[in-house]
Amino acid sequence: MVEVTVTPPSSLADRSVEVLVRGLSPSQLVTVRAALTDEQGERFQARAFFRADQAGEVAPGRHAALGGSYAGVWPMGLFWFLQPDTLFRRLIKKDVAGSPFLVRLEVFDGLHLVDGPQDQPLGSCVAERWYVGPGVRRVPVRQGRVRGALFLPP
């Protein structure tokens, strides 16, 4: 059974995480895809092709992506290279304190270029990416012509 893990599973958006895929066959060619849906319902995706090592593992921080959204060793590449399905859309988080972005990581056998309804991942997991830490308070600022928000630590 293929296992996909993100460590830590819940983190701030500017913090690095470690993605690890286990349970593959040695030298197996796989596609790892990251996908999220933003608050407006727009979908963003990144994918990378990897060849599993002799232990049957893929770790983007140690193994080079052979292609896809990026190539080479990029520990956070699946998060950094997210692209919209609809052209000219931007990934923006409006409700920074209320909820995280949920990034679904999936592993597919072989080169997986196009999504189809019959495609079943070998394994998957979800990573939470928060924009505000626990206990941080958001205070709206309205003074004269100045508009903004002040984020106060606990």
What is the extent of the structural domain holding 102?
3-152
pLDDT tens-digit profile of 17-62?
999 999 999 999 999 999 999 999 999 999 999 999 999 999 999 9
Pairing status of strand 123-130 against strand 10-12: parallel
Q: What is the pTM of this model?
A: 0.89
**Quick one: pLDDT at residue 115?**
78
Residue 117's domain is classified under what CATH number?
2.60.40.2240
Q: Structurally, how many domains does the chain consist of?
A: 1
Q: List all residues 6 or more positions away from 33 whose beta carbon is below 8 Å from its beta carbon.
A: 45, 46, 47, 78, 105, 106, 107, 108, 112, 121
How far is CA 154 from each of CA 13, 50, 52, 109, 111, rounded to the nearest angstrom? 19, 42, 43, 45, 46
Which of 57, 74, 67 minimizes the C-alpha distance to 111? 67
Q: What is the mean pLDDT of residues 120-149?
A: 94
**Quick one: pLDDT at residue 113?**
85
pLDDT tens-digit profile of 88-125?
999 999 888 889 999 999 999 999 888 777 789 999 99
